[in-house]
Amino acid sequence: MDRKLDPSRDDLPLMANTSHIRVKHYALDLDVDFESQIMEGTIVLFFESENRFRKRSISTEETCQSESSEARTVRMPEACHVPGTSTRTFSSKTGHSDFVICGKGEKDTAGKDGNHDNWEQASGISSSKYCCDTGNHGSEDFVLVLDCCDLSVLKVEEVDVAAVPGIEKFTRSPKLTVISELRNQIVRELVTLPADRWREQLDYFACCSQAPGCGELLFDTDTWSLQIRKRGAQTATDFPHAVRIRYRTNPQGRSITWTSDQSSRPCVYTMGSPLNNRALFPCQEPPVAMSTWQATVRAAASFVVLMSGERSAKPTQLQEGRSSWHYYVTMPMPASTFTIAVGAWTEVKPETCSSNDLAAEGGSFSPSDADFGCVEVCCHMDYPCRFQNASAAVQEIIPHRVFAPVCLQGACQETLLPLVPPCLAAAHSVLGTHPFSRLDILIVPANFPSLGMASPHIIFLSQSTLTGRSHLCGTRLCHEIAHAWFGLAIGARDWTEEWLSEGFATHLEDVFWAKAQQLAPHEAREQQELRACLRWRRLQDEVRSSPEEMQVLRPNKEKTGYVSDSGSSVIKHGLNPEKVFMQVHYLKGYFLLRFLARRLGDDTYFSFLRKFVHTFHGQLILSQDFLQMLLENIPEEKGLELSVESIFQDWLESSGIPQADDILWESLHQRQIALSALRSCHAWGTP
């Protein structure tokens, strides 16, 4: 990092050295204990080293460019070197380090912050000291750095994947005599299996995750990271490619919330930002570390485990009144998108069964059911993509379930359940193929800090969306459904560009909701104008009351997307407590997209948006990727006076409210005057 981490600052550090080694798959195995408010178990990480994932990235880009002249790949910003500061160094010659090894049966020496490390201050990670010497000119060991906080790490070990029966099929070089090289070769072959062998890959990941250990690894923790090394492994290529970490969470861990639901029953759920999942499991938080995962979670038989996963998991009954739940995901995504919720939830079913309900109960499309006719050319890494599934492309309503505390079952049946099919169908009519095969919706406990949160295959909704008329529930549901495309299937390469997720979802929620209500064009336009007016008023208030630096949608400007040589970076204002309640990135992003749609015309804009989704799904983007493709795909007469640079200057890199379109603001001002007579603004459910 370029500076020593200062707890008084509000930037969030991303410490993982993803430029040298990346997790390709996580296998979690956890027990949930409500009495102690702890999750404990293991996570196995399967890695790919730098030279491998860079070669595959180049190959994918070349394939896309040759298959379609219109297919575009994400521009990868060049790395910017960040000088290192204070750090610890390790030498394979001395045999001495400050790392600790703590077995499961040993005393837990974790400090009050939940980590073994008890340094007086958090230290920065040096890109020069903690990264591999790729030329192998020095004697220092490679150090794997994972994002981690509020966890008690008990043991770290290499996994003997070579002990798995049948695994020899993944050994290409029978001449290999060094067993560590053989193990790494097995993992390299396993993580790069083609998409049509996804089930075989998952099965072997599961078997490997249960394989015995073959040597404990040295590890240490500080405030924000877990560092692991193996003596003598001087490069990422030499470092073990399958590592098991035994750990337990902290009851006060900032990634998960232990609480009671509205029926006074205990439950736990992931919070999402700002810390994401680093206090749930050690991981690589930078978005570029896109991975798949599978998880087995055990809890008392009276609880339901919901999770990001492609199948609607059913519990396996265990002895002593416990159940086991298993989920998996085959679409690579950032670890921050993983979500779990455990509680005494009740599945809410319709009182009468309609044709839509039958469709929802018919089971989800999985890759094994797919008809992978080539519907679109895809430029993402290889996985079983629904955009190449001819059946999925015409599936307007994906299978869905609704869960809630028992006391809210009636309210969900009356308000939420009837809205799900039309909102899903509306989203499909605008953007096309649903990126995910199914959807669970959970009404979360009353202490949930926002109206909703979207994750792969699961949406959290606040109980407040069930009150009053259907507008609030419908618009919020549409907002979270929109995140399946913008925020999940297409993610921001730099987390400071939140508008790429929230601005799009806010703009699309109006479009989806109007279609879900089957409004006539003039009715839809009237509703959207009124909602724009309310948002305009909210944006004015927020600009007046917030610091100017918090109003900028692209705060890193020309350095957006840049990381250190190791891959570490910081998220500007990521820990600022005020940011949680601010909506500038929602509202300014919304007005930018509204401005562009008005300039181009709705037909042109939404036709382009569908094309953009088909081009960039499964990838990470920066603002310029969207804007450049937009300007290249619109008629020249409609793009007059528009440029990426002018939009950056007027909308993304300036504080306050842009003066880009006087007609737009004049229209909103007139609407605001008319709206001042209304006293039921809350019924429109603005964000």
Q: Phi first, then psi: what are they for 408, rounded to 5°?
A: -105, 10
The secondary structure of 76-92 as a DSSP string is -PPP------S----BT
Angle between the 470-482 and 420-431 helix axes, to the nearest 10 degrees?
Answer: 40
Quick one: how far is CA 421 from the chain centroid?
A: 24
Distance CA(14)–CA(129), nearest Å, equals: 17
Q: Residue 287 — left, alpha, or beta (φ > 0 → left; ψ -120 to 50 → alpha)?
A: alpha
Q: Any bridge partners for residue 345, and if so which? A: none
SS3 state at 406: helix
Residue pointed to by tokens 């939940």 = 114
Q: By CB neighbour count within 10 A (0-12 exposed, 13-18 middle, 19+ buried), where does 548 fall?
A: exposed
* Cβ atoms within 10 Å, residue 508: 25
User: Which amino acid, 609?
Assistant: L
Tokens of 519: 């409004």
Identify whether the C-beta of residue 224 lies closer than 8 Å to the C-beta of residue 147.
yes
Distance CA(513)–CA(487), nearest Å, equals: 19
How many CA atoms within 13 Å lie on the side-chain side of 553?
A: 29
Q: By CB neighbour count within 10 A (0-12 exposed, 13-18 middle, 19+ buried), where does 50 fall?
A: buried
The secondary structure of 205-260 as a DSSP string is HHHHHTSPEEEE-EEEE-SSEEEEE-TT--STTTS-SEEEEEEEE-TT-TTEEEEE
SS3 state at 453: strand
From 529, 549, 548, select the one nearest 678 (Cα to Cα): 529
- Rounded to 10 degrees, the C-alpha dihedral 283/288/292/294 comes to 20
How many CA atoms within 13 Å lie on the side-chain side of 71?
A: 17
Residue pointed to by tokens 């820990």 = 575
Q: Which of 140, 480, 497, 498 is catalytic?
A: 480
SS3 state at 361: helix
Identify whether the C-beta of residue 379 lies closer than 8 Å to the C-beta of residue 61.
yes
Residue 267 host element (H or E): strand 266-270
Tokens of 591: 């007005």
**CA dihedral sign, ordered 570, 572, 577, 579:** negative
Q: Any bridge partners for residue 145, and if so which? A: 227
From 147, 217, 130, 210, select the one nearest 180 (Cα to Cα): 217
Q: Is 480 a catalytic residue?
A: yes
Identify whether the C-beta of residue 478 lies closer than 8 Å to the C-beta of residue 509.
yes
How many residues appear in the chain?
Answer: 687
Identify whether the C-beta of residue 522 lies closer than 8 Å to the C-beta of residue 516.
no
Residue pointed to by tokens 């006391």 = 407
Distance CA(130)–CA(142), nearest Å, equals: 7
SS (H, E, C) 613-677: HHHHCCEEECHHHHHHHHHHCCCHHHHCCCCHHHHHHHHHCCCCCCCCCHHHHHHHHHHHHHHCC
DSSP state of 24: E
- For the annotated catalytic residues, the residue numbers are 480
